[in-house]
Structure 1
Amino acid sequence: MAMAKQQNQPGRTAMSGLERLSLRVSSMINHPVAQIQRWVTIHRLDTDGEREWKEVIGLLSETDGIDMAWNVDGSVTLRWEPMAEEDRLMETIEQLEVEAPF
């Protein structure tokens, strides 16, 4: 019962599916191991909506300096170059974190 009250507090909004997916992808890209190896594989989860998945993947595909490879299992592997290209990747991550679906 206490949880229901907590969720109904004024000013508190639930995170949208796009926000959750963007945050997850951003966290995966920013992970120290991904930053060292300059690649990461992103899997679409059952909880990721089709529209949200296409929007995030579309944003990533339009970003200069990111190479995308579709894997047999439906996942996507992102690869990027170090140095100047990293700045563009960081811009995309920031855009994913800031954009709202409305």
Structure 2
Amino acid sequence: MDKQKKIQEAQRQGLTGLERLGLRVSAMIGSPVAQIQRWVTIHRLDNDSDQDWQAIMELLAEIDRLDMTFCDDGSVILQWDKPTEDDWMAEREGSVEAVEQAPF
């Protein structure tokens, strides 16, 4: 299912603007290309409210190992590093199965 269909389905299910924005940003971060290059540009759409956009930006800002670059056009570039061996060891010691993915 492509992104537009997912957004339409979310709207039919009665999700809030914040939930739809969160799903869109999550899909962009989780995309195979973003995972390979370890960065993605998030664009704000006309139907994203100021409050929802700010809430998502605050949530993203709380994530360790995630760099945010705010661009003049209003977009935000998110960048992250590949987990280090120390990160893998900390996850294993905490009984969490280590899987290579973004840190969020």
Q: Tell me, in whole angstroms, the C-alpha distance in 1 between the residues paired with 2:50 and 2:61.
A: 16
Instruction: Report what 1:75 is aligned to.
Output: 75
What's 2:53 paired with?
Answer: 53
TM-score, length-normalised on structure 2?
Answer: 0.69
Residue matched to 2:43: 43
Alignment of 1:1-102 (within 5 A): 14-83=14-83, 84=87, 89-90=103-104
Higher relative contact order (CA 8 A, sep 6+): 1
Letter in 2 for 1:53: W
Could you tell me how far 1:89 is from its partner in structure 2? 2.5
Which portions of structure 1, spanning 4 or more consecutive aligned residues, are displaced by more than 4 angstroms? 85-88
* Gap runs ≥5 in structure 1: 1-11, 91-102
Shift of residue 88, structure 1, vs aligned partner = 6.9
2:47 counterpart letter in structure 1: T
Task: Give CA-to-partner distance per residue, 1:45-93, whole Å, 9 cap, x none.
Answer: 0010111100001000111100000111010000001124966723xxx
TM-score by length of 1: 0.71
Root mean square deviation, CA, Å: 2.0
Q: Which amino acid aligns with 2:50?
A: E
Equivalenced residue count is 79
- Report the secondary structure of 1:58's partner residue: helix
SS where residue 40 of structure 1 aligns? strand
